[in-house]
Amino acid sequence: MRKTSIFSLLALFLFFTVDAQVDRSQRPEPGPAPEIQLGEFESFELDNGLQVIVVENRQVPVVSFQLSLDLDPVFEGDAKGYVSLAGSLMREGTTNRSKQEIDEAIDFIGASLSTSSSGIFASSLTRHQDVLLDLMTDILYNPSFPEEELERLINQTRSGLATVQNDASAMASNVARAVTYGHDHPYGEITTEESLENVSLDLIRQYYEDHFKPNVAYLVIVGDMGVEEAREVTERYFASWEAGEVPQRTFPTPEPPEGRRVAFANRAGAVQSVVAVTHPVVLTPGHEDAIKVSVMNSVLGGGAFSGRLMQNLREDKGYTYGARSSLSTDPLVGRFQARTEVRNEVTDSTVTEILYEMERMINEPIDQESLELTRNFMTGSFARSLESPQTIARFARNVLRYDLPDDYYATYLERLAAVTVDDVQEMAAKYLKPENSIIVVAGNQDEVAETLIPFSATGEVEFYDAFGRPFVEAELAAAPEGYTAETVIERYIEAIGGRDQLKRIEDLTQKMTASLQGMQIQINNYQKAPHYMLVNTKMGDMVLSQQLFDGERFKVQSQMGLQEFSEGPEFEEMKLQAIMNMELHYDEFDIQTELLGVRPVNGRDAYKVELTYPSGNHVQDYYCVETGLKIKSADMQSKSYFSEYKEVNGLMFPHEVRQEAGGQQIDMQVDAVEINSGLEESFFVIE
């Protein structure tokens, strides 16, 4: 059995008044590092190789069990996503219990239980620990991996991926991973809709069979349990877990680029850019440089508000609300990253300032006051972290996992206090690579991309899609000879029923349902010729918002109150939206149309028609080459996809509409379409 001291920090500050005069012109010398009175963790190993760590805490009658696997990462290739799905699917049923039975059993004892590709976490009141461990080990030993639950999880994942293309932050994260580590490294792989198509139960079962072994596992027990009881409990529940050989893998270590690169992901219409300056770093956990590097990064842009990036980009320049940097340790390869979000017009200036601050860390020693401020901040953060038994458990596991000295964390503050100004500059020179970094930007390509060319060593900007794949603009195929925008639009009008049928519409009602952030909402759209429109959105009986246009006023009623417009861009935009069947009136409202060519949309060739409004706004409509129906519409703010056209009173209407905007996706189901139901002008009021 191994017994090691770890942290129960007592800080005592004594203030004395003395008669002697104090020379306030001299900065007080820093005192010795606070002494850490270490608590205890205890560890032992089962015969099957399972390492058990116990952190006793009798303050509340709760106990938690964290089972974690120490594995080499898996390169998933064209089935990227299956490892994560394997972890999630473990909880969805066993050979003894269905998902519903597991959920009910957990709820009945008021416990929590979650699974991942690297382990299981479970927690409950102490008196329910046997029930909890029975459930936990049933999931560990007997997962059934039900196919229907896999399909559900894949659909959930696919739905989440659909929002990425409108989320500049997610786009930047994907691109940064891909270009930092490369697509041939597991850290550089990104889950896509295409990779999800290749996920199979066979892959998932094989992952489980190969990796869930006790000889690469740690079981951390925290809470109302002593070591002797822990020994008895683990022998009872985990001793039958059979050891086995686990795959070991090696990968090439990613290197910083020889010269600066610029990687760009286009978020059409974005008014802000997400900017990241990044490069790989080789720095393993427990490395002798780790604490000094942490101080250096904290000065540059770590957790403290006084970080140089924050002071420069927010306080001095006013470019952003926040700018941070991180420098991570990892057994394989870590990463440096400085990141922020700024207006389009200052994107290039922001990159300049980030690189300047990196170079300043290398070329100029920091002042002693900044060093002491940073060390004090880090000391406080460390001390606060020790209030949680989970932190003690994590440190204990790290000591075992990375073969750290027993006193690694006990001497942390002592080694932190020993970091000098010279150490900080030395770490900056060793680990920051401003000339060999990758500048990643997700934003408006038309406004930003060219301004980044000067930062590239090759004079080129590399373009990537939302998932970090090299992006090549699909060339528009030429439309058939003689085809014009008018031809395509007229064909669409005929496909949905013809001009005569459209002209007979005096009023139109469309009722839809949608799920937004787990809530079921109803969206009702009412129109009456020539220019009346009312849209209300409800959740149950509660009205979330209403939009009204009556030809003279545009009103918006929401949780924020009532807004009213009788002129301006909002009024003009709604005025056009309220026109019944606008395709019949483009000439009347001076809307210019241009056929740009043919390109695929969701696997179907479509004519791309660009509309230019008098305001200067542009909208791209896509009409299916085969059917003539409109299948997509996009502007600077959103995209809408139309499918499942059905006939209603001689006219075709889409009954499934997917809208993407602001990083969110809403899938709407059209439940009812009513034509000429007799809506009166008096109907168009806000309730």
Q: Tokens in use for 183?
A: 């697509």
pLDDT of residue 517: 64
Each residue of 602-658: pLDDT tens digit? 888 999 999 999 988 889 999 999 999 999 998 877 889 999 999 999 999 999 998
Residue that is written with structure tokens 């199979």 in the block: 200
pLDDT of residue 302: 83
Name the helix (H) or strand (E) containing 575: helix 569-577
- Listed residue (67, 37, 46, 55) closest to 1, CA to CA: 46
User: Does the structure show a pLDDT above 60 at 439?
Assistant: yes
Each residue of 363-405: pLDDT tens digit? 999 999 999 999 999 998 888 887 777 888 888 889 888 999 9
Each residue of 484-503: pLDDT tens digit? 999 999 999 999 999 999 99
In this chain, the answer to whether the domains covering 2-238 and 261-387+400-464 adopt an identical fold is yes
Q: What span, in angstroms and rounded, lies between the C-alpha atoms of 441 and 353?
A: 15
What pTM did the predictor assign?
0.73
Q: Tokens in use for 470?
A: 């090299």
Q: What span, in angstroms and rounded, lies between the C-alpha atoms of 361 and 353?
A: 12
Say which amino acid occupies 575.
Answer: K
Each residue of 111-164: pLDDT tens digit? 999 999 999 999 999 999 999 999 999 999 999 999 999 999 999 999 889 889
HEC profile for 416-450?
A: HHCCCHHHHHHHHHHHCCHHHCEEEEEECHHHHHH
From the centroid of its chain, how far is CA 297?
A: 23
Pairing state of beta strands 119-125 and 592-601? unpaired
Q: Establish whether the linkage from the previous residue to 254 is cis, with ω within 30° of 0.
A: no
Q: Would you mind telling me the total number of residues written for the chain in this entry?
A: 687
Q: Tokens in use for 252?
A: 């090439």
pLDDT of residue 390: 81
CATH topology for 485-683? outer membrane lipoprotein receptor (LolB), chain A (2.50.20)
Mean pLDDT score of the chain = 90
Domain boundaries, the chain: 2-238, 261-387+400-464, 485-683
Beta strands in 424-568 (DSSP E): 438-443, 462-464, 507-516, 519-528, 532-539, 542-549, 554-558, 561-565
Q: Are 365 and 424 in contact (CB under 8 A)?
A: yes
Q: Torsion angle, CA of 306/310/313/319, rounded to 10 degrees? A: -130
HEC profile for 282-347?
A: CCCCCCCCHHHHHHHHHHHHCCCCCCHHHHHHHHHCCCCCCEEEEECCCCCCEEEEEEEEEEHHHH
Instruction: Say whether domain 2-238 belongs to CATH 3.30.830.10.
Output: yes
Q: Are 292 and 427 in contact (CB under 8 A)?
A: yes
Q: Tokens in use for 532?
A: 């009346």
Q: Architecture of 261-387+400-464 per CATH?
A: 2-Layer Sandwich (3.30)
- Sheet containing 272-281: give its strands across: 323-327, 334-343, 272-281, 438-443, 261-266, 462-464
